[in-house]
């Protein structure tokens, strides 16, 4: 079996999937295989993969089950790989992308994931993201989003890796758990990174692994009704699932302030009703999902995470 398996969830990615797969065919590292997990695409992108990339392992699902389910289907089929790379279909990887991710995660057995440097495909002088941070306002955000290239060029710890272009230590999924399929899409990578942090594992960022990301390549825009509604819903679920009750109480003033600010923002953007609808659905989602069990064994990790949540709030405000 290969050292690395690349898992690409695809849904109607006809505009990008061929370029994505071609970029993987030009990698300097060759000990990897590629899996495309297709969420019942209807635009012919599934046919392109099968016809033009016979070495790619292709799995067609019966319906659009979302990003989390597609990734989990890939994880179940790659149990013998030491590492897995999750890659969005609307990306193009630089030739050293796989090699640099592999080198970064190989440095320390306590590393759960490593996020790549994501550059905006249509504005290549700007970051799309340099790893994800999470703060006590209940916000997850991409470091460097829309900033000029040059500021985030050092390897460092992050809160969680962006599942759009990151490598994960495969065996730890059996310990931490797979992606929560209740998320469907959005914040599922923050959720699993959060769980890894609780258990004492690290998430890192490396600027050496570079990928170009179209961004919203499938949903069509940075803000739309679907994204606003589901992200608002999932925001509540991340808090409920990963924070012990006492930590929720400590952060509650910040969380309420954060959601109030977001509601004003989306009202200004014309998506106020969708955001509030997502908030309501988030409450209902919390009654359906399972809370991550608190363990005194990880008390020190909870304290470190809380300090980081406060620090990341200031980082977000300062920019």
pLDDT digits (tens, 9 = 90+) for 78-100: 999 999 999 999 999 999 999 99
* Phi/psi at 15 (5° precision): -75, -20
How crowded is residue 25: how many other Cβ atoms within 10 Å of its Cβ? 10
pTM attached to this predicted model: 0.94
Average pLDDT, the chain: 95
Question: What one-character DSSP code corresponds to residue 28?
Answer: S
Q: What is the tens place of the pLDDT at every residue in 285-314?
A: 888 888 999 999 999 999 999 999 999 999
Surface-to-core class of residue 98, CB atoms within 10 Å of its CB (0-12 exposed, 13-18 middle, 19+ buried): buried
Dihedral sign, CA of 259, 115, 20, 58?
Answer: negative
* Phi/psi at 6 (5° precision): -100, 120
- Nearest Cα neighbor of 70 from 45, 92, 97, 89 is 89
Alpha helices in the chain (DSSP H): 17-24, 45-52, 67-76, 97-105, 173-176, 188-198, 225-242, 245-269, 272-288, 299-318
Position 140 pLDDT exceeds 70 = yes
Q: What is the tens place of the pLDDT at every residue in 7-27?
A: 999 999 999 999 999 999 999
- Nearest Cα neighbor of 118 from 213, 22, 6, 221 is 213
Residue 132 contacts residue 178 (beta carbons within 8 Å)? no
Report the percentage of the chain scoring pLDDT > 70.
98
* Per-residue pLDDT at 216: 65
Give me the mean pLDDT over the 177-182 stretch: 95
């Amino acid at each position: 079996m290969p050292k690395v398996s690349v898992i690409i969830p695809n849904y109607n990615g006809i505009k990008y999937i061929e370029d994505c797969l071609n970029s993987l065919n030009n990698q300097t590292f060759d000990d990897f295989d590629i899996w495309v997990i297709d969420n019942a695409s209807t635009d012919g992108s599934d046919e392109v993969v099968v016809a033009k990339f016979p070495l790619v392992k292709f799995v067609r699902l019966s319906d659009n089950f979302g990003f989390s389910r597609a990734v989990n289907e890939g994880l179940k089929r790659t149990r013998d790989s030491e590492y897995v790379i999750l890659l969005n279909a609307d990306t193009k990887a630089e030739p050293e992308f796989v090699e640099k991710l592999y080198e970064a995660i190989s440095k320390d057995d306590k590393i759960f994931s490593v996020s790549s440097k994501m550059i905006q495909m249509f504005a290549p002088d700007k970051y799309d993201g340099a790893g994800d941070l999470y703060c006590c306002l209940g916000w997850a955000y991409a470091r460097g989003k829309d900033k000029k290239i040059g500021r985030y060029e050092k390897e460092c710890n992050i809160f969680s890796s962006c599942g759009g272009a990151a490598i994960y230590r495969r065996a730890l999924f059996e310990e931490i758990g797979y992606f929560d399929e209740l998320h469907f899409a959005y914040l599922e990578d923050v959720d699993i990174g959060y769980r890894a942090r609780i258990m004492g594992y690290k998430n890192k960022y490396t600027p050496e692994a570079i990928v170009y990301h179209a961004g919203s390549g499938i949903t069509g825009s940075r803000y739309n009704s679907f994204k606003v509604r589901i992200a608002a819903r999932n925001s509540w679920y991340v808090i409920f699932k990963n924070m012990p009750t006492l930590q929720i109480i400590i952060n509650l003033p910040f969380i309420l302030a954060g959601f109030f600010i977001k509601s004003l923002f989306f009202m200004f953007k014309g998506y106020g009703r969708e955001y509030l609808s997502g908030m309501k659905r988030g409450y209902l989602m919390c009654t359906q999902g399972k809370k991550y069990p608190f363990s005194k064994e990880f008390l020190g990790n909870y304290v470190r995470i809380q300090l980081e949540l406060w620090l990341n709030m200031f980082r977000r405000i300062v920019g």
